[in-house]
Amino acid sequence: MSLDASRGTATAEVLPLATSAAEPTGWLRRGWRRMVRRPASVAGCIVVLIFVTTAIGAPWIATTDPLRTDWGKIRKAPTWANPFGTDDLGRDNLSRVVWGSRISMQAGVFSILLAMVIGVPIGLVAGYYRGALDQLIMRLTDAWLAFPFLILAIGLVTIMGPSLTNATLAIGLGATPTYIRLTRGLTLSTKEEDYVLAARALGAGDLRLMRRHVFPNIFSALLVQATVSIPTAIIAEAILSFLGLGVQPPAPSWGTMLNAAQQFLESAPWMAYWPGLAIFSLALSFNLAGDGLRDLLDPKDY
Amino acid sequence: MVEFLVRRAFISIVTLVVISLIVFTGVRMIPGDPARVMAGTEADEAGLDEIREKYGLKDPVPVQYLRWVGLALTGDLGESIRTRQSVAWTVAIKLPITMELAGFAILIAIAVAIPAGVLAAVRRNSVWDLLASGISLCGVSVPNFWLGIMLILLISVRLGWLPASGFVPFWEDPLGNLQRMIMPAFVLGTALAAVLMRQTRNSMIEVLSADYIRTARAKGLAGRAVVFRHAIRNGLIPVVTVLGLQMGALMGGAVVTEQIFVVPGFGRLVVEAVFTRDYPLVQGVVLITASAYVLVNLAVDVSYSFLNPRIRIRGAAGES
């Protein structure tokens, strides 16, 4: 059984001590063995953690104010004082990249959280009750999916105006149908499992079944999907900000930095290196970590 | 078969209706009076009233919706606020440029992804597989606009091999057109290639472990013939579906790519429309892209139901 089994499902309730006592160590050891087999995923996790630390610790890591302009230091090549060089307004690129990680993380994590908060309950209800409601939800989802994410975001930003919040909202809404579909599919198969049927026979109501028995068992699959959607969302925020539809200057977002860099490719190419490299390495690490997580949680291997 | 086609077409029509409702509602959510938006800031009350009369903004909302859909079906999507030209025409003259770009991107993606995916599947867990999977992972993770900027920096600024931006029509200067298209097409095709490669690898691995492949091998067919004559045909079906589903991402990618390489296509038009708050144009573009996506995927489903009898029988049996 997987880790979800120890999470208060019918199996764990019916067969209490015997399995749950033996499980954690075995699970940990198995997990460790798999981690060792996938060094790339471990490296991905570490880089993601470094970015998270950078985002949280930005004020202590980047001691130079990312917004302070200095007319004496316009587009200076990297030096010890400014290891990533300075930008077209003489601001320190290193501290802008560091602060930019905050914006990227915020946009990436909150948009996917939003997508899950909206999508998962809808998908649960659709998959659990089936019938006309399910049909209605699925047709709506089909239509929703037909809007390419960027076109949807462009439409929403036109209506609501450009800002980080609206960009996050647009990205989250764009990712929602994926979660509706995924949750619905997982619910369809999970609700026919013996332990769910057993809980139903014991008199558990619909809401309790969905919350306590179906949801915990599909959670790991949703988590894997989230680690794959977060890098996409991070890139999406950068694209929107690059186009001027997301974070507005002077806020240090990797997308807006690249937008400025594009005008000075010949004279100050370093302005373009670091923000892009940051997006790339963060997205790549998330994807690697997601691959590892998928392996770790895949019940097929048990 | 007929039942499957009818059912599939019906679902697409429902989807299109829902899309039109979403777009219609979305435009109504724009803050402020639409008449004022259309008239600009200097219009007086009489002018506003005239506009409300002209565009039927005084009618009940359902009537307005039906009239809007009716006009849209005849190809009338209103006129751009900025240029006063019809939206359909404005889009129609930009579309061929984007289609050329997207066409090249798809060609590049297929040319790279399918051989690489097949190789990775046939030589599973070999160095080639690892290499292909690694490159594919990078392709998914790299922000394509940054890739574009880096290419401009390397190939145009440093090496001076290709022009960094701009566009010339193919019929005026075929070589110049291709020179300016190759970099944007490569950038646009990267993410698509990565996704297609992954899909090709996975579905080829699945097909190669199927019984009929084992039979073909058992009767003594050479490995190459098994792969090329038996496996590829079935292995590529899911790849075609994924290609259809990726059309949305491709349209989005085109918006960014055109922005970087200054290609005067549909994507640049959209971004300009947002900044000039040209609502009818944005509305038209959103409606057209979403509808195109539905129709492309309908075409994909229908076309391969002809190729694979199992799909049309299963589809007719009624799964959702």
Give the model's pLDDT for residue A20: 46
Residues of B within 8 A of A284 (CB-CB) are 137-138, 141-142
The confidence score (pLDDT) of residue A125 equals: 92
Q: Tell me the mean pLDDT in the region A197-217.
A: 84
Which residues in chain B touch residue A145, judged by CB atoms under 8 angstroms apart?
Answer: 248
B24 touches A: beta carbon within 8 Å: no
Does the pLDDT value for residue A7 go beyond 80?
Answer: no
* Contact between residue A123 and residue B239 where contact means Cβ atoms under 8 Å apart: no
Comparing CA positions, the residue from B193, B176, B178 lying closest to residue B108 is B193
Cα nearest neighbour of A154 on chain B: B274
* pLDDT given at position B166: 75
Contact call for B289 and A242, based on CB within 8 A? no
A38: phi > 0 → left, psi -120 to 50 → alpha, else beta; which?
A: beta
* One-letter amino acid of A239: I
Looking at residue B316, what is its pLDDT?
45
Q: Which residues of A touch B286 (CB under 8 A)?
A: 147, 151-152, 154-155
Rounded Cα–Cα distance for residues B62 and A212 (Å)? 43
- Please report which helix (H) or strand (E) contains residue A287, including its range: helix A270-297
Model confidence band, residue A119 (pLDDT cutoffs 50, 70, 90): very high
Cβ within 8 Å, pair A262-B275: no
Within 13 Å, how many C-alpha atoms sit on residue B235's CB side?
A: 31
pLDDT digits (tens, 9 = 90+) for B260-296: 888 888 888 888 888 887 878 888 888 888 888 888 8
A55-114, pLDDT tens digit by residue? 888 788 777 777 777 777 777 777 777 777 777 776 777 888 888 899 999 999 999 999
The answer to whether B28 faces chain A, any CB pair under 8 Å, is no
- Put simply, whether B238 touches A (Cβ < 8 Å) is no
Q: Please compute the mean of the pLDDT values over residues A232-236 and round it to a whole number.
A: 92
Average the pLDDT over B168-185 and give the result: 82
The DSSP letter of residue A92 is B
* Closest-approach residue (CA) in chain B for A286: B141
Q: What phi, psi does B6 have (nearest 5°)?
A: -65, -45
Q: Residue B209 — pLDDT band, cuts 50, 70, 90? A: confident
Using a CB–CB cutoff of 8 Å, tell me whether B183 touches chain A: no
Per-residue model confidence as pLDDT tens digits over A15-59: 444 444 445 567 777 777 777 778 888 888 899 999 888 888 878
The strand pairing partners of A92, in sequence order, are A86
The residues near B200 (Cβ < 8 Å, ≥ 6 apart) are B113, B114, B116, B117, B118, B120, B121, B235, B236, B239
DSSP state of A301: G
- Alpha-carbon distance of A298 to A288, in angstroms, equals 15
Q: How far is CA B193 from CA A122, B277, B304, in A?
A: 33, 34, 21
Q: Cβ(A153)–Cβ(B285) under 8 Å? A: no
User: Regarding predicted confidence, which is higher, B174 or A224?
Assistant: A224
Q: B30 — contact with chain A (CB < 8 Å)?
A: yes
Distance from CA of B20 to the nearest CA of A (A): 9
What band does B71 get if pLDDT is binned at 50, 70 and 90?
confident
Q: Which pLDDT value is given to residue B24?
A: 85
Nearest-CA distance B44 → chain A (Å)? 24
Over chain A, what is the mean pLDDT?
Answer: 81
Residue numbers in B near A262 (CB within 8 A): 149, 260
Instruction: Calculate how close chain B gets to A206, using CA atoms only, in Å.
Output: 23
Measured distance CA(A179)–CA(B36) in Å, rounded: 39
The pLDDT score that the predictor gives to residue A9 is 41
pLDDT in tens, B14-63: 889 988 888 888 877 776 666 776 666 666 777 777 777 777 777 788 88
Residues A154, B259: C-beta atoms closer than 8 Å: no
| A282 exposure class (CB count in 10 Å sphere: 0-12, 13-18, 19+) | buried
Contact call for B289 and A148, based on CB within 8 A? yes
Tell whether B153 is within 8 A of chain A (Cβ).
yes
Structure tokens at B134: 């690694």
ipTM of the modeled complex: 0.82
Contacts of B300 (CB under 8 A, 6+ apart): B240, B241, B243, B244
Note whether B145 contacts A: Cβ–Cβ < 8 A: yes
Residue B2: the pLDDT is 76
Alpha helix ranges (H) inside B127-210: 127-141, 144-151, 174-208
Which of A155-159, B139-143, B204-208 reaches the highest mean pLDDT? B139-143
Backbone dihedral angles phi then psi of residue A86, each to the nearest 5 degrees: -125, 165
Q: Which amino acid is at A36?
A: V
B177/B167 Cα distance (integer angstroms): 6
CB-CB under 8 Å, A158 with B282 = yes
Phi, then psi, of A244 in degrees rounded to 5: 85, 10
Chain B hits for A155, CB-CB cut-off 8 Å, are 23, 26, 282, 286
Type of residue at A154? I
Tokens standing for residue B146: 């940054």
CA gap B261, B149 in Å, rounded: 9
Q: Are A87 and A93 in contact (CB under 8 A)?
A: yes
Q: Determine phi and psi for B86, rounding to 5 degrees.
A: -65, 140
Closest CB to B18 among A143, A155, A158: A143
Cβ pair B152, B164 in contact under 8 A: yes
Please report the sign of the dihedral spanned by the C-alpha atoms of residue A70, residue A75, residue A80, residue A83.
Answer: positive
B140 to A287: CB separation less than 8 angstroms, yes or no: yes
